[in-house]
Structure 1
Amino acid sequence: MARGSDGEGGGVQSVKRALQIMNVIADTGAPCGLSELAGATGLPIATIHRLLRTLIGAGILRQEPDRRYALGSALVHLGDQALAMIAPLVRPHLTALVDALGETANAARLEGTQIVYLAQVPSRHQMRMFTEVGRRVEAYRTAVGKAMLAQLDDQMIAEVYANTEFVATTPTTITCLDDLLRQLQSVRRDGYAIDDGEQEIGVRCVAVAVPGPPSTLALSVSGPTARINDGLVARAVPLLQQSSSAIAAANRATYPGLPAPRAAR
């Protein structure tokens, strides 16, 4: 066996281990120490330390003053490029949603406790919703955010939001973790999420998560509350689900090594 290969489909063991470390830090949402990384990955501390030195040298990780390890600035450029590559994939689906429903269609990604808008096709109505691509919003205030958070289990959500202050921007904004978890139960049951003026008064939105990698991607349709009524939501949900499934299939075809979609627990 060649040095560095683990024999699993020709994969390189050191690369897989490095990715495992990065994913642990990303999932934790905070800097991690050596012992934490060893416990989460099952790797020897000596191996982790060697990989950490390489990743720090490349700017992919950084070491904090307390000697814990965090994601580095080099990943910002990679993340920006990844977002740019996703937009062309989802834009035709957003256009089809606007054609079918007449309202603004959006694609967003979950990053920590926030969502970032990746692409948007605006409604043709004079009164329509507009969000700048790249804008970040707290996930718990949005339909796309709740659709993606619902893919995670409650324990992980509780850990992510353990030190988060819920800030209300409207009278209907979620203001505590218990209310968020209750809404996410409904999202999992129904297969879609609703934002009923929770981010902005007078704006309603319905969203569906894209299954599987990228597991933190969702599509939505948004507009004035008067137009995003229950009838439009009923029409929008199956179209959003169809588009989301098509995007997931396209991702698996483009990147056959991606793992299969994982059901939320």
Structure 2
Amino acid sequence: MAQKVTGGVQSVERAFELLELITNAGGEVTLSELSTFTDLPLPTIHRLLRTLVSLGYARQLPNRRYSLGPSLIRLGEVANKQLGSLARPQLKMLVDALGETANMAILDSDMVVYIAQVPSPHSMRMFTEVGRRAHLHDTGVGKAILAQLDDDTVRNIVTHAGMPTPTPNSIGNVNDLMTDLGQIRERGYSIDEEEQELGVRCFSMAVPGSPTPMAISVSGPVSRVDDKFSAQAVPLLRQAAKTIAEDLTLKV
């Protein structure tokens, strides 16, 4: 749950607390379950939910459970575009310095969604469309994001989403994934070793302290994205992620 802001409007804080609790529960929850997750009185929860439902930010399902509402979709789409615009200068810096495609992606439930891209000038390059959703366990950005989460959350995500293996290099079980995430946490960045697409290597780094889990990456053909590339890319990714984190803080 997000930390409460001193001097904030209590009813607004409480409403967003409920939305975050519904999100953390997987997007669907009962009234009684919500009451166990928070210290708010049941009548207060019920009153806030009625307001959120009337505004379209929550829905009451036929089985009496509550879920996130359609009005959040529009807010999310606009927020994603703004995040992408904020990150674009840093992505362009990476492409200018490294010559390979740079992406930014965020966690979207149990998947990752790409929200910004600056393509490589090379004719042979990685093609990933903005708006594309992908699994977390076999992408550089996905693994960088997973490495920021606790083990129980990681297991819940990959259990729900599944672990398909699009290439022979893809990680196909939770234990191997946990081992890889341990290595990512130690070195501070992830590597997609032809796990999403044969012939493509990707280096990725999470944006520290971001309001929602997000990561940036550079990727390209293995013939160009080699050890020498890695030595150049990692410091630049670290600086870009730091700058994006600082820009996000300034926008709050």
Specify the TM-score bucket, using the shorter chain as the normaliser.
Answer: over 0.9
TM-score by length of 1: 0.90
In the other structure, the counterpart of 2:34 is 37
Aligned mates of 2:247, 2:212 — CA distance in 1: 13
Which SS does the other structure have where 2:78 is aligned?
A: helix
CA deviations over 1:122-154 (Å, ceiling 9, x no partner): 111121112111111111110001101111110
What is the one-letter code of the residue matched to 1:188? R
In the other structure, the counterpart of 1:52 is 49
**Cα offset for 1:120?**
0.9
Which residue, out of 59, 72, 76, partners 1:75? 72
What is the one-letter code of the residue matched to 2:218? V
Moved over 4 A (4+): none
Which residue, out of 82, 88, 96, partners 1:91? 88
Which runs of no fewer than 5 residues in structure 1 stay unpaired? 1-6, 256-265
Aligned mates of 2:7, 2:24 — CA distance in 1: 26
**Mean alpha-carbon deviation: is it higher for 29-38 or for 76-85?**
29-38
In the other structure, the counterpart of 2:222 is 225
Aligned mates of 1:253, 1:30 — CA distance in 2: 30
Aligned mates of 2:223, 2:11 — CA distance in 1: 55
Which SS does the other structure have where 1:195 is aligned?
A: strand
Which residue, out of 171, 189, 192, partners 1:192? 189
Aligned mates of 2:179, 2:39 — CA distance in 1: 34
Call closer, same or farther: CA 1:206–1:53 in 2, change over 3 Å: same
In the other structure, the counterpart of 1:109 is 106
User: Which structure 2 residues correspond to residues 1-265 of structure 1 after superposition, within 5 A?
Assistant: 9-255=6-252
What is the one-letter code of the residue matched to 2:138? R
CA deviations over 1:225-265 (Å, ceiling 9, x no partner): 1111122112111110101011111111121xxxxxxxxxx
Q: Is the 8 A contact 2:135 2:161 kept in 1?
A: no
Q: Please provide the CA RMSD for this pair.
A: 1.5
Aligned mates of 1:39, 1:23 — CA distance in 2: 14
Aligned mates of 1:65, 1:180 — CA distance in 2: 38
Call closer, same or farther: CA 1:81–1:201 in 2, change over 3 Å: same
**Cα offset for 1:205?**
0.3
What is the one-letter code of the residue matched to 1:230? D
Q: Is the 8 A contact 1:142 1:195 kept in 2?
A: yes
What is the one-letter code of the residue matched to 2:172? T
Which SS does the other structure have where 1:139 is aligned?
A: coil
Which SS does the other structure have where 1:198 is aligned?
A: coil
Q: Is the 8 A contact 2:200 2:221 kept in 1?
A: yes
Aligned mates of 2:168, 2:159 — CA distance in 1: 23
TM-score by length of 2: 0.94
Identity %: 50
Aligned mates of 2:133, 2:158 — CA distance in 1: 17
What is the one-letter code of the residue matched to 1:235? Q
Which SS does the other structure have where 2:52 is aligned?
A: helix
Q: Is the 8 A contact 1:29 1:160 kept in 2?
A: no
What is the one-letter code of the residue matched to 2:196? Q
